[in-house]
Amino acid sequence: MRISPTTIIIGSLIVISASFVRQLMDLLTSYLGEKGFLVLIGALTASCLLFFLIYVIKNAHPRVFRFSLLLLALIIGLTLMWKIEIIEERIHILEYGLLGWFAARDLISRKKKAKGIILACLVVLLFGTIDEVFQKILPYRVGEARDLVLNGLGGLWGVFLYLTV
């Protein structure tokens, strides 16, 4: 069991993006307006979901029950995510879900499934903690415990989605 470079790159990009994502969101909102920006985020989320489902169907060939469980987990996660009022926190769920998926892919094996799940969750929490500490250092960002919880929930969602495939 080891963490792949892809997982490390995804986690690092999440942390690095903390330094510029707020400015990018403000720029896009100034051009598109609040509703336009929400539409853009919704379209990006839907596109990612579509690519994810195509990947699962093409590569994993899940049985009907597992695919139904996967769809249910996706719907519940996306519904809860969409109920979060602050857009950045919605994005936290998605990006840490992706990180959780890749960490689970790297660390969960058939022989040591429980250990792999715990390690994948710890990887997500490590990157989430680094992200929030980094944001606390930046003068124009805020590192909060609430965000750390959302990061962890997103990661757990990603790990669960991996387990359903």
List, for residues 80-135, the tens digit of each pLDDT value: 888 888 877 888 888 999 999 999 999 998 788 899 999 999 999 999 999 999 88
The residues, any chain, with a CB within 8 Å of residue 93's CB and separated by 6 or more, are 77, 80, 81, 84, 150, 153, 154, 157
Average pLDDT along the chain: 88
Task: Work out the pLDDT band at 140, boundaries 50, 70, 90.
Answer: confident
Domain count, the chain: 1
**Structural domain harbouring 69:** 5-164
pLDDT tens by residue, 15-25: 998 888 888 88
Return the percent helix, strand and coil in the chain, to nearest 5. Answer: 85, 0, 15
* Residue range 139-149: mean pLDDT, rounded: 83
Rounded CA gap, 127 and 130, in Å? 5
